[in-house]
Structure 1
Amino acid sequence: MRLIAEETTRHWWSYAVRGVAAVLFGVLAIVWPLMTLLTLVVLFGAFAVISGVVTLVSAMRGGDPAESRPWALASGALSIVAGAVAWLWPGITTFALLMLIAAFAVLVGAVEIAAALRRRGNGETEWMYLAYGGLAVLFGILMFLWPGSGALALTWLIGIFAIVYGAALLVLAYRIRDVRHKGTAGTAPHAV
């Protein structure tokens, strides 16, 4: 087994933070399915901005291999832009929100898949990058194909996707942290 690059394993926490944010967003969307559209827009904006900031910080601190850094920077920037759009225009219609979230999911998913393909030789967690990228693209495409679904179904669909996506990120973070722990066992601790 090839070890994941040291720079990636040092920033396992960035995947965990993004995963927790996605799961919290998903749970809130399911627990309060009749929340107003404005609340859903604000929650989506918060999730997208948090995810984007953490991704950018991790990429700038060297949390991704050098060849994957541009993809991480693009993913973080797209997330922040999507969150900012949601906050700057909170009165958008349900259809516009659906299209914004669908575009966000497809774009970020495509960037994640591209980054996973670039990391091909970095270890056995590659499938998790592909999995959460693929989930994001699939979710976005489904939202583009069926935009006329009701607000309640939309809220539940968004919530379920966010929980599954967040869980995939948490599993990935755990696996990367585990690889880091095994790789540094018996050596002096590294400064993060």
Structure 2
Amino acid sequence: MANRNTDIHSGAKGTEMAPERWWTLAVRGVLAIIFGLIALIWPAITLKALVIVFGVYALINGATTILGAFRDRPSGERGWLILSGLVSLAAGIAALVWPRITTLALIWLIGAWFLITGIVEIVGAVMRRKEVEGDWSMLLNGVLAALFGLILMLWPGAGAVALVALIAIFAIVLGAAMLVLAFRARHVTHHPGHRAHPMAA
């Protein structure tokens, strides 16, 4: 009986996420939605304004991700979170310190950011597949981001307004997916027993 209780406790602990993990995801999701809404409501947004909005979003997203990585995260998970945060910080800095960036260069920058972030998310999801068995949200999030990055990089010559609308819609979808994942993580954090399914004696 003692061994069975120990196994159940260990199983619940393995799937439990630290509290800061869910709120960092929530913050990133809200920021992505805000970024998407600004671009969608303001379709004639100037290139300079879009660069500033994207740069600020990428910086905050990167800082939040790295902050979550250094707060009681397992070493294996911490590495890919830091990498994801650094990529986001680099994209944000590049956007803000490159005042005369062209439309094509901006599209490539945003596309590369989505692609690299998506790949990092996919790697993180694969690394955590044993901890969160049956939860494909994070993997799907990474696949969508990577695919969108490829679309932007392979289709850079489309009209600026069309691309802004595309970026806006995807940012909103990605933000919503992050919020869903965040609240699922929060539920597991506060109700770890729900993931444990003890076998009958």
| TM-score, normalising length: structure 2 | 0.86
**In 2: Cα distance, 1:80 partner to 1:32 partner:** 25
Partner of 2:53: 43
**In 2: Cα distance, 1:139 partner to 1:184 partner:** 36
Q: Deviations over 1:104-155 (max 9, x none)?
A: 0110100010000000111257311111111110001101111111010010
Report the 3-state secondary structure (helix = DSSP H, G, I; strand = E; otherwise coil) of the residue aligned with 2:166. helix
Letter in structure 1 aligned against 2:61: S
Query: Which of 143, 162, 184 does residue 175 from structure 1 map onto?
Result: 184
**In 2: Cα distance, 1:57 partner to 1:184 partner:** 27
The answer to whether structure 1 residue 71 and structure 2 residue 80 are counterparts is yes
Instruction: Give the direction of change, closer, same or farther, for the CA distance of 1:88–1:125 in structure 2 (3 Å limit).
Output: farther
1:125 and 1:172 in contact (8 A); partners too: no
**In 1: Cα distance, 2:107 partner to 2:160 partner:** 10
Letter in structure 1 aligned against 2:54: F
Letter in structure 2 aligned against 1:166: G
Structure of larger gyration radius: 2
Letter in structure 2 aligned against 1:89: W
1:5 and 1:65 in contact (8 A); partners too: no
Partner of 1:150: 159
**In 1: Cα distance, 2:81 partner to 2:134 partner:** 16
1:26 and 1:161 in contact (8 A); partners too: yes
Report the count of equivalent residues.
184
**In 1: Cα distance, 2:133 partner to 2:186 partner:** 13
Percent of pairs identical after alignment? 47
The answer to whether structure 1 residue 58 and structure 2 residue 68 are counterparts is yes
1:8 and 1:65 in contact (8 A); partners too: no
Query: Which of 1, 25, 34 does residue 44 from structure 2 map onto?
Result: 34
Is there any run of 5+ residues in structure 1 with no aligned partner, and where?
Answer: 186-192
Is there any run of 5+ residues in structure 2 with no aligned partner, and where?
Answer: 1-7, 195-201
CA RMSD of superposed structures (Å):
1.8
**In 2: Cα distance, 1:20 partner to 1:65 partner:** 25
Note the C-alpha offset of 1:10.
4.2
1:116 and 1:126 in contact (8 A); partners too: no
**In 2: Cα distance, 1:125 partner to 1:29 partner:** 35
